[in-house]
Amino acid sequence: MGDGKKTGGSRKQRPSYKDRQGISYQQGEDPPFLAQMKQKLGYKEYTVDDKFTKEDEEKSDHSGDDEDDIRNVPAERRPQIVVLEPGKDLTNEQLQKEIDKKREEED
């Protein structure tokens, strides 16, 4: 052993990347007082799938229109219009006139 080589003694090795990635979280049960409160209030646990309803799927299936088209966006969801230079920038009224004009052209 005096030849200068290291032998694999009792030294601990760090966990590998794969071992560290295998760590997961498991949520435990709610404490009894929380479970009782949730039951009284009628609390429902939501999942990611609950976020997407069948109505949303039907809308997306039936709408062949371009989602990015400003004419298909409700007025309350449109970007805010700021007129910095009157006469040069498009006002909200001018935008609405253009949208109406395009809709008439399509019909």
> What would the pLDDT profile of 26-78 be if each residue is shown by its tens digit?
788 889 999 999 999 999 888 888 777 766 565 555 455 676 788 788 878 88
Residue 106's nearest CA partner among 67, 60, 62, 72 is 72
The token pair at 49 is 């799938």
- Could you tell me the pTM of the whole model? 0.36
- Return the pLDDT at 37: 94
The token pair at 25 is 């979280």
Question: Whole-angstrom Cα distance, residue 53 to residue 67?
Answer: 18
Question: Whole-angstrom Cα distance, residue 87 to residue 85?
Answer: 6
Amino acid letter, 21: Q
β-pair partners for 67: none
